[in-house]
Amino acid sequence: MARKKLVAGNWKMNGLLASKSLLLEISREYGNAACDILVCPPATLINALRGGTIAIGGQDCHWNESGAHTGDISAAMLADAGADAVILGHSERRTDHGETDEMVAKKTEAAWKAGLMAVVCVGETGDERDAGTTLDRIGAQLDASIPDGATGKNLVVAYEPVWAIGTGRIPEMSDIAEVHDFIRSKLKDRFGGDTAEAVRVLYGGSVKPGNAEEIFAVSNVDGALVGGASLKAEDFGGIISAAK
């Protein structure tokens, strides 16, 4: 079954109300692309950016619907603001905020309950790659970060080697293929063939217009999660155009 590619932009802690012009430019220039497009701005901008042709997502959520959690935002709130999706377990959340796989699983359940598509991130550190434990790490993260109940509609997995994020370094294409094939087979063991074939597995880490085509040609790569290059319409558009 052919999976429609997804190009997702993670704006991280970048963007003010004026960034609406960036979204409008992406929508105007690339809105008719062959792939699905998702933009995940800071939560403050979700309501302002909702309603166009491009899907909008959050970058994190709490697992509770409401309550005494100062500074946090719930999946229900993201959905209420107009989000369609949410990135969960990004390595910057895991590193900066001590997020564990178990927390990511609870957040994913909350996202599903709120009707959001969860983009669950996994990835090895440079030390783990050097030690040859990449697949062990990814396997453990998949097992513990994704709750039961995954479908092709509610789950996207993003493979993001931590050492490739924001560094300009990317793995060998054969290494990306090995991890993506492994993720697909893990999904199959756990959720069955139909679901595993429907879930999109994105690659993330220093994707640029110049390397996107080669990455998208790799087995089991169904699109990209893009950080830095999602902040310029031309760069993000170059990646979108490569996703056929």
Site residues (vs ligand PEP, CB under 6 A)? 10, 160, 165-166, 204-207, 225-229
* 178: annotated active-site residue: no
Which residue in 90, 92, 124, 180 is the catalytic one?
Answer: 90
| For ligand PEP, the closer CB: 6 or 76 | 6
* 234: annotated active-site residue: no
Compute the distance between CA of residue 207 and CA of residue 224 in angstroms, rounded to an integer. 7
**Residues contacting 36, CB < 8 A, separation 6+:** 4, 5, 6, 7, 55, 223
Q: How far is CA 133 from CA 95, 130, 138, 158, 182, in A?
A: 19, 8, 9, 18, 13
Residue 56 near residue 49, CB atoms below 8 Å: yes
Residue 85 near residue 54, CB atoms below 8 Å: no
Closest separation between CB of residue 151 and ligand PEP, Å?
A: 23
State which H helix or E strand residue 36 sits in: strand 36-40
Residue of minimal CB distance from ligand PEP? 227
C-alpha closest to that of 93 among 118, 64, 56, 122: 122
Closest separation between CB of residue 227 and ligand PEP, Å?
A: 2
| For ligand PEP, the closer CB: 191 or 204 | 204
| For ligand PEP, the closer CB: 54 or 196 | 54
Which residue in 99, 128, 160, 180 is the catalytic one?
Answer: 160
Compute the distance between CA of residue 4 and CA of residue 19 in angstroms, rounded to an integer. 27
| For ligand PEP, the closer CB: 37 or 225 | 225
Closest separation between CB of residue 138 and ligand PEP, Å?
A: 16
Closest separation between CB of residue 181 and ligand PEP, Å?
A: 20
| For ligand PEP, the closer CB: 89 or 205 | 205
Closest separation between CB of residue 18 and ligand PEP, Å?
A: 21
| Residues 125, 131, 132, 135, CA torsion sign | negative
Residues with active-site annotation: 90, 160
